[in-house]
Amino acid sequence: MNLPLFFIACILGISSYGQSYLTGTIYFGQDSLIEYQAGNLPIILSAPHGGHESPATLPDRNCSGCVTVKDSYTQKLAREIAAALIFKTGCYPHLIINKLHRKKLDANREIIEATDSNSATEVYWHNYMNFIDSAKRSISSKYQKSIFLDIHGHGHAIQRIELGYLLSSSDLRKSDSVLNSPPTNLKASILNLRFSTLTSQPLSELIRGKHSFGSMLHAKGFPTVPSDSIPFPLVGEPYFNGGYNTRRFGSQTGGTIDAIQIEHNWDVRANPAIRTRLADSLAQVILDFLELHYFTDFSSYACNFFTGTEEYTKKKVTAYPNPFSTHIELKEVSNNSTFSLFSQEGMHVMTGTLTDNFTVDLSHLSQGIYYLSIRNKTSFTTLKLVKCS
């Protein structure tokens, strides 16, 4: 039986920790406040601070030193990055989102600070961490290494993206030789990559060299530190170097999953057009970084590389008219193909099966940009659609 690519699963509690998850399926934790989209890419996206739900049943966190300001638009950004990855590959990243406001739950802190020691809130913290652990187990069963990206937003005056590798500003200001040697290099959240990279590059090159994540993103037009253009923050400049999730899920203390905390400046988060361009650029940088440092010929593989099932090939499918106002007609599509439609922000809109009639009624949609993913047993394609009225 063909299951839809996006299937809203039953509400899951802590007991879901050991269960299996279906690629492309969306699962929820307690009260639907923690969301997990299961993937088949060696990529985990986490958005711990972008939630806005504030149920009265949960007390506000008021512990000493607790930060309660949410990272605005980071939930949207994480969804858009995931949507861009699906569009580019036909495959799915793992995506975990905390919908609770940070004043209720900080999903990037250890449990006591995260919940302010409130037992009612602890279940949501466990949901979040358990979903990430499940994603890690799924990835580890298919390939040897992967990357975890924690999506954040900062309010610093300097408008640039900050990448956190658990190395302080002073660590980054050290010479390459010191950065590449113990004990400094052993602090890094991408320690596994240092010893397994295909390019045989030292840590300094992986963090701020020409082919580092930051340099690739900087080259897309988004100033980033560290990178070859901005190798380190200057003395006195604010900088976030990574938090609880980066430590817990990165390879600093072992394992084969590397972690980077990505702190986005306000300008690239708040403007919808810039945010969309950033999400597309980030998705491409992630894929390029994986191909260069993690997997040989990464871009030449389709989903069979990640699932171990049938070999998928890209198929040329067209939609007419596009832009459209009420409906589209699909050409060169196979009978019994399944489709999923999602918004530019990565939100699921509808799912269906194409049998005989390849016309899809989309008159109920609002104006905007959508992505249509079509798949059968041997092929996939993703189309960008524009609803004009």
The closest of 114, 113, 75 to 96, measured between CA atoms, is: 75
**CA–CA separation, 321 vs 65, rounded Å?**
55
Q: 387: which strand partners?
A: 324, 368
Instruction: Return the pLDDT at 335.
Output: 82
> 170 burial class (0-12, 13-18, 19+ CB within 10 angstroms)?
exposed
One-letter identity of residue 132: I
**CA–CA separation, 154 vs 26, rounded Å?**
28
**CA–CA separation, 332 vs 374, rounded Å?**
11
Instruction: Return the pLDDT at 213.
Output: 98
The closest of 200, 222, 24, 43 to 211, measured between CA atoms, is: 200
**CA–CA separation, 80 vs 346, rounded Å?**
5
Low-confidence ranges of the chain (pLDDT < 50): 1-17, 302, 304-312
Cβ(16)–Cβ(130) under 8 Å?
yes
Q: Which residue has the tokens 């939100």?
A: 347
Cβ(165)–Cβ(242) under 8 Å?
yes
Instruction: Return the pLDDT at 16.
Output: 46
Instruction: Return the pLDDT at 10.
Output: 32
Cβ(185)–Cβ(194) under 8 Å?
yes
Instruction: Return the pLDDT at 12.
Output: 37
Look at the domain 312-387 and name its fold: Immunoglobulin-like (2.60.40)
Please report, for the chain, the start and end positions of each structural domain, with discontinuous segments joined by +: 1-309, 312-387
Six token digits for residue 256: 């084969």
Instruction: Return the pLDDT at 212.
Output: 98
**Which residues make Cβ contacts (< 8 Å) with residue 327, sequence separation at least 6?**
359, 360, 361, 362, 363
Look at the domain 1-309 and name its fold: Aminopeptidase (3.40.630)
**CA–CA separation, 14 vs 129, rounded Å?**
10
Query: What's this model's pTM, rounded to 2 decimal places?
Result: 0.80
Instruction: Return the pLDDT at 264.
Output: 98
